[in-house]
Amino acid sequence: MPELVVTALLAPSRLTLKLLRAFMWSLVFSAALVAAAVYGCIALTHVMCRPRRGFLGRPRHTPPVCLSDPTLGEHCFLILRSSGLRLHYVSAGRGKGPLMLFLHGFPENWFSWRYQLREFQSRFHVVAVDLRGYGPSDAPKDVDCYTIDLLMADIQDVILGLGYSKCILVAHDWGALLAWNFSIYYPSLVERMVVVSAAPMSVYQDYSLHHIGQFFRSNYVFLFQLPWLPEKLLSMSDFQILKTTLTHRKRGIPQLTPSELEAFLYDFSQPGGLTGPLNYYRNIFRTFPLEPQELATPTLLLWGEKDPYFEQGLVEAISSRFVPGRLEAHILPGMGHWIPQTNPVEMHQYMWAFLQDLLD
């Protein structure tokens, strides 16, 4: 068929897709402006209630002692083959079993896996990375350096760079979004997967279009589409919005000690410390619309009944995409979003049972 004819036949579809994208971006930025107004009021309220803290975050010059706790493992760096970036990771239990690789979410870092590092280093080589843009890991400034494809390449380079051909991937929040995609495009590198509190992007997209309540739970995502302003709002009154997110009595991790809280704030208080992590969100809508994808990697999914950010209905939506018999899903009563830190004992019980046959 002549190229001119093919182009003419495809023109209506291409125009429709362009119009759909334009409409989607107009909605995204409208929601971003509304979210900016709301979070701006919240940030200003914090400043007025705590005027001595000022408008900016207090710089931290010395990391808290808990970040160097020797029981968690050895601090190392790895040069990634694909990008040449240097990634920081903490490693323990080398030579004791399969690789168990941990991917953190936002606003966290490798330290969010402290309980799991201690628990599983006796039978696995446990490795918790600081994803690109976080902590001591390299943090490119360009938004285009944080696309899903590049972040997946980082995971591949970590697994192969550590000398393994596959791993058990354990992931939470943003790390889980990456893990879902990674298991689809690099299935040979993932033997098992443990996912906490996150859905695949295509599932989240389809579910949100039919459940408007999910959009309201994820309102912060729209704020983060804007340049520079989210960094300013999150740092006001010495990062009070982040402090509240992490320590709220019902929605956060109320048992965090002051030192543990500083383990997260220390990285974000460094120059440009928030920009890399927020650039993850600034790439979310670039691949819209997403096609449905079949999920086949044997997966343990843990979901908090009272997760304030994701509705329970997402669990059923995830299950509908799985090859039968490959998903073990549990909705945990009374638990919220931060299960690896708030309920590590329960999480470990499910993980040991799920992984037992690999250890026999």
Question: Which residue among the candidates 46, 88, 172, 337 is catalytic per the annotation?
Answer: 337
Q: What is the DSSP string of 296-307?
A: -S-EEEEEETT-
Q: Is the peptide bond before 258 cis (omega within 30 degrees of 0)?
A: no
Cα angle at 119 between 64 and 132, to 5 degrees?
A: 50
| Active-site residue flag, 220 | no
Tally of CB atoms within 10 A around 136: 18
Q: How far is CA 105 from CA 96, 197, 345, in A?
A: 26, 10, 20
| Active-site residue flag, 173 | yes
Cα angle at 318 between 315 and 319, to 5 degrees?
A: 85
Q: How far is CA 132 from CA 193, 280, 349, in A?
A: 21, 10, 30
Tally of CB atoms within 10 A around 156: 16
Q: Contact, 202 vs 217, CB < 8 A?
A: no
| Active-site residue flag, 337 | yes
Question: Which residue among the candidates 130, 173, 206, 307 is catalytic per the annotation?
Answer: 173
| CB contact set of 87 (below 8 Å; sequence gap of 6+) | 77, 78, 80, 129, 130, 131, 132, 137, 138, 154, 158
Question: Which residue among the candidates 207, 281, 309, 350 is catalytic per the annotation?
Answer: 281
Active site residues: 173, 281, 337
